[in-house]
Structure 1
Amino acid sequence: MRFGFLSEGTTPRGMTHHHRLHEVIREAELCEETGWDFWGTSEQHFAPGATIAAPETLYGAVAMRTSRIKLRFMSILMLKFNHPIKVANHLATVDILSHGRVELCTARSNNVKTLDPFEVDPSDTRAQWREGLEVTVKALTEFPMEHHGEFYKIPPIEVTPRLYREELFPIWVVTISPETHTIAGNMGLGAITNDSYLGWDHLGELIGLYRDACKTPDPIAQYPVNTALCFCPLTSHCAATREAAVEESRHDVTRFFRSTYDMYDQLDQRSGFEGINEIRKMKEHENDPLALAEFTPTIMIGTPDDLVERIKRLEAMGVDEIVLRIDDLGVSQHLKAIELIGKYVIPEFRGPNAIRRQSMWGDYGVEKPRFLT
């Protein structure tokens, strides 16, 4: 099991973007110090609070402040406003600055608040994503490269800079719908998945679709086949007690559920969204994080023991990676959660035999508080 940290740079009311972006860099540094495998941000446009609109710039800063942790672009939008050659330029530059630590996850966006201002037809996003990915890979692996497709017609050109490494980095795609899980597996791409608040059984069905499709991968360009399945809880938090974890993250759980519900409701009105009725049933629990977490793995809050239990359940279902979105709780809570997970959760999957299981204080009738940071 590999562990990743996801930030969207959510900036609370009253704070400057300057302060929040520098906090995000501090969070990345602590992730490296405490043993996380990868760190990253999603690409966000016009989202309330979320501020990572130019991830390639932020990644350059993080690359210079870290030395080991992988830097995964969590959702580069492969749409026409992100020209794939520019995407290749950004990726190669960060790969050079980080000495070969870049990883890539692509996305096509289902948020009309992003699609409308950039004049993107929702019905074209899958085709734009597919061709954009193909062009980006060509730009990184072929020298010179050329392409003649529906959206891009590129004569023979030499794209620079080149990657730091010889081999291309692994590539994932954000997968929400059953169809996209099958497409990802068929194309030999890793998948970053989520149950979309539709529950554990729904997630199991998605995993089954992806694993079946991975049996006969057929890449569309010269990228290495990647069958790593990553699960991303949209709201995560870890504290020394369950009560603290719930209270410290309650606003984020409720806000994220409401905003996701609103996004899918708008999408359903535009082009339909399978599962919208199931999400509507959950609205009566929108203010109760534990009730929501009981139904959906997309909310992962609690003590280190709680997280270990849920991650082991995901591992048994066939999940290879977990990427925890910990954001909008205040930087002090973010840093505490990063440290708790690094000390008490990740070791359960790395070296369980090295963990101290007994307490010498119990012999004296004194129980030392658990999960100290």
Structure 2
Amino acid sequence: MDLSVVEPPLGTPADPTFGLDTFGDVALGPDGEPLPPAEAIRQVVAEAELADAVGLDFFGVGEHHRPDFAVSAPDVVLAAIAGRTRRIRLGTSVTVLSSDDPIRVFERFATLDAVSRGRAEITVGRGSFTESFPLFGLSLDDYERLFSEKLDLLAALLQEGPVSWQGSVRPPLEGVEVFPRTAAGLPTWVGVGGTPESVVRAAAYGLPLVIAVIGGSPEGFVPLVELYHRALDHYEQPTLPISMHSPGHVAATDELAREQMYPHHAAAFTRIGRERGWGPYTPEQFEQGAGPTGALFVGSPETVAQKIAWAMRTLGLSRFQLKYAVGTLPHEERLESIRLYGTRVVPRVRELLADPSSGAE
């Protein structure tokens, strides 16, 4: 398969959408101690309510199985959110498909689609954490095989007809039908962190792409976007949406946004780095990420809007997803960030993308 040809033009698709992502990060309480996980989950529901009220298009909840993130069952949290919102689309960021059962994933999110009146989505991925593998009795030696086979099965289930399937990770299926059916299909994205094979796999199944940009620069992901377009062409798939997930924080001024975000972001990345053999997170790393072409979308509404418009143009994005819950950042500061993002950042990004003279189209 030759995917080295065809140079697709990049540019912002018409009518982009804007969302938020959270992992249910456990914030600190007034006493400086981590909040109970139950309170962190209730905060996620309140944050989603505000996201709906300020007109955002998507709210994504990630799956983790560790103490710093409270949400291990995103579909349950999203069902609670569905009952308290009206229009915002609800999905995952991400569902760790490798350690889940594709049939149960489909059933749970088809159910969420019903209770939300057609607002459910899934983003599947291998996950950047691996705690779910030993938790559910799986071996990391099967990391790649588990995801590739389970994605193959899920792609078949998404057709919502009889499924016959055979692989090595579960017994074969012959003419199986899975319920409930959805009214208009279940949008499913593939989340990737930079692996070319995952990008090509998403294209092969005709599934849209979410690129997680948490380090470096969005510019560095241009080759993966180009690869995705070439792969879509190779597999004779239609043009599909591409989204980007990146961390950030919005406040009244650049200085305040940096002051609020830095200690929580640094603590989270230092903790994760200690687990993975990295050094402590530094102010220099933060400033590089917060710069004009970095991966952190932090600043005043105008600063963040300019950077999002640039990233959407650079990668030809249909959606941008701000990972707004940064470590132990307090709930009140998250709410203000959501309010500013929905009422000031997103309208300004739309203006920039619609104005050819802004350089964002």
Q: Same fold (TM over 0.5)?
A: yes
Higher relative contact order, chain-length normalized (CA < 8 Å, sep 6+): 2
> Match for residue 6 of structure 2?
none
**239 and 131 in structure 1: CA distance in 2 versus 1, 3 angstrom threshold:** same
Corresponding position: 1:197 with 2:194: no
How far did residue 342 of structure 1 move? 1.2
Preserved CA contact (<8 Å) 1:104 1:171: yes
> Match for residue 310 of structure 2?
313
**347 and 73 in structure 1: CA distance in 2 versus 1, 3 angstrom threshold:** same
User: Which secondary structure state, in structure 1, belongs to the residue aligned with residue 294 of structure 2?
Assistant: coil
Please show how residues 213-362 of structure 1 align to structure 2 within 5 Å: 213-217=231-235, 227-233=240-246, 235-262=247-274, 265=277, 285-286=282-283, 289-294=286-291, 297-317=294-314, 318-327=316-325, 328-350=328-350
**159 and 284 in structure 1: CA distance in 2 versus 1, 3 angstrom threshold:** closer
How far did residue 263 of structure 1 move? 5.8
Preserved CA contact (<8 Å) 2:63 2:72: yes
Distance 2:61 2:229 in 1: 26
Hey, which bits of structure 1, 4+ residues long, moved more than 6 A? none
> Match for residue 20 of structure 2?
5
User: Which secondary structure state, in structure 1, belongs to the residue aligned with residue 106 of structure 2?
Assistant: helix
> Match for residue 275 of structure 1?
none
1:264-321 per-position Cα deviation (integer Å, ceiling 9, x unaligned): 55xxxxxxxxxxxxx87xx674565223322863211100111111111112212221
Distance 2:220 2:214 in 1: 9
Distance 1:75 1:218 in 2: 27
Q: TM-score, normalised by structure 1?
A: 0.80
1:73-111 per-position Cα deviation (integer Å, ceiling 9, x unaligned): 2211112x4111111110111000001111111011242
Corresponding position: 1:139 with 2:154: no
User: Which secondary structure state, in structure 2, belongs to the residue aligned with residue 40 of structure 1?
Assistant: strand
> Match for residue 358 of structure 1?
none
User: Which secondary structure state, in structure 2, belongs to the residue aligned with residue 141 of structure 1?
Assistant: coil
Distance 1:217 1:123 in 2: 30
User: Which secondary structure state, in structure 2, belongs to the residue aligned with residue 231 of structure 1?
Assistant: strand
Return the letter of the residue paired with 1:30: L
Distance 1:55 1:100 in 2: 17
Distance 2:243 2:161 in 1: 32
> Match for residue 363 of structure 1?
none
> Match for residue 38 of structure 1?
58
Distance 2:276 2:291 in 1: 21
**227 and 119 in structure 1: CA distance in 2 versus 1, 3 angstrom threshold:** same
**73 and 14 in structure 1: CA distance in 2 versus 1, 3 angstrom threshold:** closer
Distance 2:222 2:274 in 1: 25
> Match for residue 129 of structure 2?
111
1:252-273 per-position Cα deviation (integer Å, ceiling 9, x unaligned): 32134334545655xxxxxxxx
Return the letter of the residue paired with 1:322: F
Distance 1:186 1:139 in 2: 16
Please show how residues 16-55 of structure 1 align to structure 2 within 5 Å: 16-46=36-66, 48-55=67-74
Partner residue of 2:206 out of 188, 191, 195: 188
User: Which moved further from structure 2: 329-338 or 187-196?
Assistant: 187-196
Unpaired stretches in structure 1, ≥5 consecutive residues? 220-224, 266-278, 355-373
Corresponding position: 1:75 with 2:94: yes
**42 and 244 in structure 1: CA distance in 2 versus 1, 3 angstrom threshold:** same
Return the letter of the residue paired with 1:2: T
How far did residue 199 of structure 1 move? 3.0
Q: C-alpha root-mean-square deviation of aligned residues, in Å? A: 2.7
Return the letter of the residue paired with 2:159: T
Count of residues in correspondence between the two structures: 330
Distance 1:148 1:168 in 2: 23
> Match for residue 168 of structure 2?
150
Distance 1:75 1:325 in 2: 12
Distance 1:196 1:41 in 2: 17
User: Which secondary structure state, in structure 2, belongs to the residue aligned with residue 192 of structure 1?
Assistant: strand
Return the letter of the residue paired with 1:98: S
Return the letter of the residue paired with 2:45: I
User: Which moved further from structure 2: 15-24 or 130-139?
Assistant: 130-139
How far did residue 347 of structure 1 move? 0.8
Unpaired stretches in structure 2, ≥5 consecutive residues? 1-15, 28-32, 355-361
Distance 2:194 2:134 in 1: 20
Distance 1:199 1:206 in 2: 13
Return the letter of the residue paired with 2:319: E
Please show how residues 89-100 of structure 1 align to structure 2 within 5 Å: 89-100=107-118
Distance 2:292 2:275 in 1: 20
